[in-house]
Amino acid sequence: MKVRLVSSVHFSAAHRLHSESLDEDTNRRTFDKCNNPSAHGHTYALEVTVEGEIDPATGYVMDVAQLARVIRERVVEPLDRRHLNHDVDFLSGINPTAENIAAGIWARLQGRVAPARLARVVLNETEKNRVAYKGETP
């Protein structure tokens, strides 16, 4: 019996949308007020979904407290109360759009949620928009 388990968490971070591959003017037109040089920020709500079989002995897909611990160590610790353009190794040189942050979070959790497998990362940036990433399409 395959079941999905979702663990939700929040982190607060600053970012500036700005791409090295675009000139100043294109950056300004593309990212508008999110390109503001002195940065802005969000209280991000993150939902991590893993999938696996129910272990007949425990009734768990995996221990949700263990899942929460992995998310805290691998994602919340390096991101919470940080500036995503400056403070985060795994986002270094990457324009911190919600899409890119979600893909980065996926890479941080991939292979760390055994015996379950990572199924989806959802990142809510504001009450009006969020992104979902399910890994590379094979």
**Selection from 125, 128, 123 nearest residue 108 by Cα:** 123
Please identify which residue in 46, 72, 75, 82 interacts with a copy of itself, judged by CB under 8 A: 82
Indicate whether 110 belongs to the interface with a copy of itself (CB under 8 A): no
Neighbours of 89 (CB within 10 A): 7
Please identify which residue in 24, 25, 58, 89 interacts with a copy of itself, judged by CB under 8 A: 58
Indicate whether 25 belongs to the interface with a copy of itself (CB under 8 A): no
Q: What is the DSSP letter of 20?
A: T
Q: Report the residue number, 6 or 112, with the smaller CB distance to a copy of itself.
A: 6
Quick one: 7 exposed, middle or buried, by C-beta within 10 A (0-12, 13-18, 19+)? buried
Q: Which run of H or of E encompasses 117?
A: strand 117-124
Chain residues in the site for a copy of itself (CB under 8 A): 1-10, 12-15, 17, 19, 21-22, 30, 32-34, 36, 38-45, 49, 54, 56-61, 63-65, 68, 80-83, 86-87, 94-100, 102-103, 125-134, 136-137
